[in-house]
Chains A and B, each alone.
Chain A
Amino acid sequence: MISLQGISKSFKVARRAAGLRQAAKSLIFREHTVVEALKDITFSIGEGEIVGYIGPNGAGKSTSIKVMSGILVPDRGSCTIKGYTPWKERTAYVGHIGVVFGQRSQLWWDVPVIDSFQLLKDIYRIPPDEYRRNLALLTETLDLGGLLETPVRQLSLGQRMRCEIAASLLHGPSVLFLDEPTIGLDAVSKLAVRDFIRTINREKGVTVILTTHDMSDIEALADRILLIGKGTLLYDGTLQQLRGRFGTERTVTVDYRGGSGQGPLVVEGAESVSWSPERAVFRVDTGKTRIADVLSRLSEQAELLDVAIEAKPVEELIVELYREHRI
């Protein structure tokens, strides 16, 4: 469905030195440095997948999205999406994709949302029936009912993002690129957006490629992670595999009553992290000790009131990945 083979792209960037003299000099002639934004990127994505595309700022995420959406022409490599080469058959291809740039609006600022939608209907040549059907579905699932008649400039960020996403899906694309769709949203809007992405993925089989810095987006949505750093693809796999690779460690927090009352509870195979007469926190390596054993040993010593077992947050796993690859 989507396949990239050895995509490379480099940019010439004008180098500017500080100082007035240097600035004046750069008016006449400039030194260029070549920045390799993408180095030999190869991956493929199947129909109906949700893929989280992550990496630190400047890693090449946006460049890859631009290549895949047909905006940029790469230096080398091939890319086939739904049978098209994005940058070659641009006008034929882009009718099959939807793109949301989280930081830039695609709606006309001063007019009601519905006017923008109608213009998009003409731009994409959406047949009236299909337009009506898609609009009804999007209005319902994104809860746009009261928003359509409001000028875009009066919408809150969360409301606007819902309208942006609807606008990218009016023509019924089968691939959706989301570039930081939850940036700046409050918790409620974030959940609504995630919920919606999952819904269209499940019900309409839309393939979703999502870039984000919010790891809870990834956790909530992505079956698969592509990690890119300094233009190179560093990791391609599921969140589960990533957890398995770095995180056999669990944090066990217990609230308890009783016990000796004198000093911390001591349990074989669990390292005590913190302790108070009511609560104790342990670190357990599940590769060596079973959680169940730890709990049963604990319950022999005290009456357990509450138990919480947490894996390492995805955020930390990602930081470890970054560290491993020195990016």
Chain B
Amino acid sequence: MNPMEFKNYPELFEKAIIEDSDAEKIKRPSIRYWPDVWRRLKQNKLAMTGLLVIVIMIIMAAIGPMINDFSYFEQNYNQINTRPNGEYWFGTDELGRDLFTRVWYGTRYSLFIGILATVIDVTNGILYGGIAGMAGSRIDSIMMRIAEVIYSLPYLLVVILLSVVFSTQGSGTSMFVIILALSLTSWIPMSILVRGQVLQLKEAEYSLAAESLGATRGRILKKHVIPNTLGPI
């Protein structure tokens, strides 16, 4: 179009109507926290592979022992220590028991203990480390010294004592004792890690901002500091 012809189209030069309020309008649907997490997780191939493996393990732990005809205690003395074959998919152990069933049966307990012990670990670590770091100076000092004491105690000795104390009522070591023994000292490195992060983050600008807005220290810890420590955890 020749530039001179523009004057024939005055409507092209009309002022556009832009409401101020339009600029503030949210046009796209806002993505909430968890859908966003899921969206980003799907892009990470490594994480998705891991998730897939865990899901398969959970499913197999649930149905695995029922897939073939053997129970986890059934013994066949003609088939001891066999290699994996058509009948025994994972082979048999030294007592002629089917390893396929036994592996998945054991997975149930391993998964349960593993997940629960980790949850106890992380909650304990965050709570203890968070409180110690936030309180600072004297309380921090005392709490960390207590952690040192617990972490220094000979682990094996404590576990033996635990299994002795708790086995009087039942027979052998129960799952409760195993979980207790696993999470007895392992939360301490976690709490040291959290405390270090809290010590750093409570001096960050946003903590100062929250404090000057009148937030209590507990609230700053819960709402501002802990969420920012989750990465390393």
Chains A and B belong together in one complex = no
